Amino acid sequence: MSKKPRTHQINIAAIQQKCSADKSASLAASEMLIREAATGGAQLIVLQELHATLYFCQTEDTAVFELAEPIPGPTSNRLSALANELNIVLVGSIFERRMNGVYHNTSVVFDSDGSLAGIYRKMHIPDDPGFYEKFYFTPGDARFNDGRSGFTPINTSIGKLGVLVCWDQWYPEAARLMALAGAELLIYPTAIGWDITDEPEEQARQLEAWVTVQRGHAIANNLPVIAPNRVGSEPDPSGHSDGIRFWGNSFICGPQGEFLARADDHSECILTATLDRNRTESVRRIWPYLRDRRIDAYGDILKRVRD
């Protein structure tokens, strides 16, 4: 099927779902929601981080590496076929086995003809209680073999997608580098939640920080943001904690940080919005942050700390 022509309007969807220990069941749930979103007219559909499995990083377990797949592989082939059949651009997530001993948390982007438009390997890898990702994931390459930055947008038939992943969403540098490279959207597939034992006040602060920092990236770069997150409680396999309750609250916002769609903290759902690609240009004419950057004064940003 031919690719859809570029238009000023883009219909987008973000999928918020629960996940299962059964990979086939999780992928079936994703597929059902993808098909529903496509039927509703979505041209771009974004899935959450590690949507095919439970969030296995609550513990360190070498047996988990058996879940990893190469690209191409079973999950990427399934997503590719869906993109082609439904004539959509599809952003998915794969626990990638790159070679023996090298594994990545990888976003895959398939164009509307099913071709692999590009991949993004998560650059910032956390290592915190309940989020032991450094045990599993090698950071993405700072530079590709052809010299491109790791923060390079993925070109598709509906525009240039600045795909980042979860922990990347806390770093303004990542969003800015994607914007400077021509990204038209910022996309943050996510798996984040609460320690079930945290007080409600602390949970509220964490959620508000997560939403606010990403809306800040939208505003600072005059770009829409799509942030799908998972929902549901997942136990700690080790039994050392009460597990994680993923807080959902997936959202889509415009280039001034305005909410276009937002989910609750418990429902599986499809968020939809229509974006006008001309809005970024209009906003940048009145808020010209990129024009006024003092790149001659930012050298110290490359230091770990300033002496």
Q: Annotated active-site positions, please?
A: 49, 122, 166
Nearest to 249 by CA among 272, 218, 271, 278: 271
